[in-house]
Each structure stands twice: as C-alpha cells, then as structure tokens.
Structure 1
Amino acid sequence: MIRRYFEGLSRFEAAFVVAVACLAVAGIGFAFRPHSDGGDSTAPRPTPTAKKLPVVISSAEPALIDAAWERSEMGLPPPPGSDAPFTERVLDEIREKTLVMAGIRAQIGTRCEGGQVTVKKGEWTLCTATYQGVELVWEVLVEDVTGGGSWTVQLIDYQVFPPDSGVLLAKAVQGRFWAQHHEHAKELRCDRIPPLKRVTLDEDTGYRCQYLAVDGDAPRWVNTKVILDEAGPVFREIE
C-alpha cells in the first residue's frame, strides 16, 4: 500500500513526504505530553543565586545599645540636675550621643576647648568626645541666653551638632542588622568590617550586608549599603 503510494514520485519528492509525516507525528506526541510548569507542578522552587558575603550573622549582639535604651543600660549615671553647671550638662549629652552613634557600650572621655562652653548668644564651642581612642569633635551653639544674675534663673537655648565623622564598629553593624531583619529572614550576612573604623557620617561606607528574604513567592537575597548616621548604623537597600 505504501509502496503503491510512492509510485510515480521522484526520490526527492518521496523523502520530502516522509519528513513531513515524521514532523506531524512528533507534534502530536508533544501535544499529549504533560507540561512541567502547570498549576499541579511539584518541582522545587529555584534556589536564589547571589554573591554571598563572608560573615554569617547568627545571633544578637549583647552589648548593642540605641537611643531607646535607658541610661543605666548604656552604662551612664543619672543625668546632671538642672542646677549642675551648664558645661557639665552639655558634656553629659555629648557622651550619650556618642554612645548612641557607636552603638556599643564603652567609657567616653569628654572635654571642651577653654575648659567650658562659652555662655554667650551666637557663640560656638568645640567639645571633644574620645571613644576607644578616637576623638570626635562636636559643635555647641548657644542660640540665646535669658535671665541670670543673683535673683533670676538663667535660661540657655543651645544645640549640639554632630562631628563630620564617627566610629563604625563591626559589632554594632552586625547587632543592628540582626535586630532589624532576623524575624523575617532565613540567613543574614555582612562584609568583613574592622572592629572599629572612623567613617564619614551619612555617606556610604563601602560595606555591605544582605539577608535572604522568605516572605515572598520565592526566596531572594536583599543587599544593603551600610551607612553611619548620628543614631548609629543604618542599612539602605540596593535597588
């Protein structure tokens, strides 16, 4: 039957017919083959790919502090009373601000140029906080002075401005990153960061941290920049 069908065809024409028939059969087989990407697929979710940073963050940092902590938890004594010398109150504020910025408890030495803050409207005074050997210069501006004398209370309006640079500590970075992300992430990692390094405030330090987010349809690595501001290490997602 097949032989009679090909009678009268050239050898080239017969080969063409056979090829078309084979393609048709293959197409039918594909149509009846089950698809692997349907709703009933049991294939595992793809493993997220990313360059993993070298340091695994697996626990909280017990020495970590932030602005919400009590002074006693920061290792600070009770604040000076309202009758304490003005310079003493300013230096106490600078000690607390320096601790919050660093994020790890430590003893801090403080001093002001000339030995005290100049109490005069519009005057600036430089006061230095020393954290683990690193000197950070804060600026104090007296904006207004009212009252004074033997019969009245002197009121001093002032502001304390942060230094241009601060101290970035590996423990603070790792502890803050754990505190912010461990509840919704499967894995946390950071660059190798020196134990302590002076960095410019509010600028990218060049260090990175990342976490494996598992709250979506599939796990994904989220990479962040490490930045130091007046309140300590902060993390900004890299788009």
Structure 2
Amino acid sequence: MIRVIRRYFEGLSRFEAAFVVAVVCLAAVGIGRAFWPSPDGATPRPTATVKKLPVVIGSPEPTLIDSQGERSDMGLPPPPASDASLTEKVLDEIREKALVMAGIPAQVGTRCEGGGVTVKKGEWTPCTATYRGVELVWEVFIEDVTGGGAGIVQLIDYQLFPPDSGVLLAKTVHGRFWAQHHEDAKELRCDRMPHLKKVALGKDTGYRCQYLDATGDTPRWVNKKVFLEEVGPVFRETW
C-alpha cells in the first residue's frame, strides 16, 4: 500500500501533491463530523434507548396531602386540648401520621392495647391505626414521668416509634412524582402497581418511576426507585 502511494505522488509536482493531501484531510474531517457531535451541540447524540414504563403520569393528584397540609384537608378535627389525656394525644398523632404516609384522605381508626397508653417510666404500649382495612402499629415508649400529685401538673416524656410496614397507594406515588418532576420533565411514567399495598417501611418497594429530563441540551431518561417512608413515597435515582 505504501509503495502504491509513493508511486502515485512521484508523478505529481510538489504543488499538486500538497493539494491532494489537503483534499484527503478535509474528507477525513467530514467523516469524523458525521460520527461525532459538533462542540456547539448542533448535532447532539441521540439518547440511549430505555424501556418506557407502562403508566403515563399526565396530571396532578388533586386529593394529595402531605405533612405541610392543613388538618382540615386531611379530614382531621382540631388537635386535642392541652389538658387531654396522653392516650388522646398519642392517638391523634398516630392518626395524622397514618394519613401523611398514605397521602390520600380517608377515615382512620385508632386504638391502644389495653385501652390506653400505660403512663409509667420504661413502659411500651402498642397503638394501632387502621387505614382502609390495613393495620399499622406504632410503639409508644414512656421515657420519664414527673409530677402528677395534688395540684401538680404531670409531665410525660415519650417517643413514638413507627411501624415496620406502611401503606403504599398508586395515586400517592403518581401524585408525588408529578409534583416533584413535572416542571422539568417532558414525560413522566411509572410501573403498574396495586391501588393499595402494604409494604416494608424504608425498603425498596420494587416499583420504579421515570421521567424524561428536558433541562439539558440533550433530553435523558431518569429512572427512580420507589421507597415508602413515614412521610410517604420517596424516589431515589438508580445508577
């Protein structure tokens, strides 16, 4: 091949040889541009092929609630008075937490084992919230109790521990995903999932959502795993 090139150039003048070399270089640059994008983004590379999830999220969820919402929007009455019993206060707190987790208003039944919270330092009392037939058990731990004698206000320090499982609603997943990403996305999609399902709290539910990010020069699909926390569904990007 080298001998052939040499023989070809031997028959040309110095000017003609330089002209041929210039033409070959320009042709090579043109081929390179056909396979590589220009730096100004005029010919961006196509986005990688991804599997689109089946459910299109095209609008917000009007009944969606969260921890920043008003109690009236959750269907809750005003909070218990300051002189209400600890059991009343705990059950009200659990009712609100169950609604925030679920994300959609509904009647929530509540009860504590033994009829009420055991007000004694170091004691545990399980209290249950029932959301659309699903029972969720919080644990109340009494850290300290002071006062309580004649004319003395009783002070109770307690902690409320969340259940191991919670309720995941498809409407809440769709609504939260829309609220978080619709402003920067051309398209939003999620897996098919049950209307309501009991899932482990804080663990990957196995469901996914995705959106087409339109903020950059080249749109790209962003895939996210769905988790359920005390505050409701949260989304974490997959890598």
Match of 1:109 in 2: 109
Q: How does 1:117-128 map to 2 (within 5 A)?
A: 117-128=117-128
Query: Alignment partner of 1:106: what SS?
Result: coil
Q: Is the 8 A contact 1:102 1:169 kept in 2?
A: yes
Q: Give the 3 Å change call, closer, same or farther, for CA 39–91 of structure 1 in structure 2.
A: closer
Supply the RMSD in Å over aligned alpha carbons: 2.2
CA distance in 2, matches of 1:187, 1:76: 35
Match of 1:177 in 2: 177
Match of 2:140 in 1: 140
Q: Cα deviations across residues 116-162 of structure 1 (Å, max 9, x unaligned)?
A: 00010110001110000000111001111111123111111111111
Q: 1:197 Cα shift?
A: 0.4
Q: 1:186 Cα shift?
A: 1.2
Q: Is the 8 A contact 1:48 1:219 kept in 2?
A: no
Q: Is the 8 A contact 1:138 1:160 kept in 2?
A: yes
CA distance in 2, matches of 1:56, 1:207: 14
Q: How does 1:1-239 map to 2 (within 5 A)?
A: 17=4, 21=8, 29-33=23-27, 35=30, 36=33, 37-39=37-39, 42-43=42-43, 45-239=45-239
Residue identity opposite 1:173 in structure 2: V
CA distance in 2, matches of 1:45, 1:51: 18
Q: Cα deviations across residues 174-215 of structure 1 (Å, max 9, x unaligned)?
A: 111111111111111100011000000000000001111111
Match of 1:6 in 2: none
Q: Is the 8 A contact 1:122 1:141 kept in 2?
A: yes
Q: 1:106 Cα shift?
A: 0.8
Match of 1:3 in 2: none
CA distance in 2, matches of 1:186, 1:156: 52
Deviates more, 1:136-145 or 1:27-36: 27-36
Q: 1:21 Cα shift?
A: 3.9
Gaps of at least 5 residues in structure 1 are 1-15
Gaps of at least 5 residues in structure 2 are 10-16
Deviates more, 1:26-35 or 1:120-129: 26-35
TM-score, reference length from structure 2: 0.86
Structure 1 segments (4+ residues) deviating >3 Å: 16-22, 24-30, 36-45
CA distance in 1, matches of 2:231, 2:70: 15
CA distance in 1, matches of 2:5, 2:175: 71
Q: Is the 8 A contact 1:95 1:129 kept in 2?
A: yes
Q: 1:30 Cα shift?
A: 4.0
TM-score, reference length from structure 1: 0.86
Q: Give the 3 Å change call, closer, same or farther, for CA 168–27 of structure 1 in structure 2.
A: farther
Query: Alignment partner of 2:178: what SS?
Result: helix
Residue identity opposite 1:109 in structure 2: G
Q: Give the 3 Å change call, closer, same or farther, for CA 89–220 of structure 1 in structure 2.
A: same
CA distance in 2, matches of 1:20, 1:187: 60
CA distance in 2, matches of 1:181, 1:26: 55
Residue identity opposite 1:130 in structure 2: T
Identity over aligned pairs, percent: 70
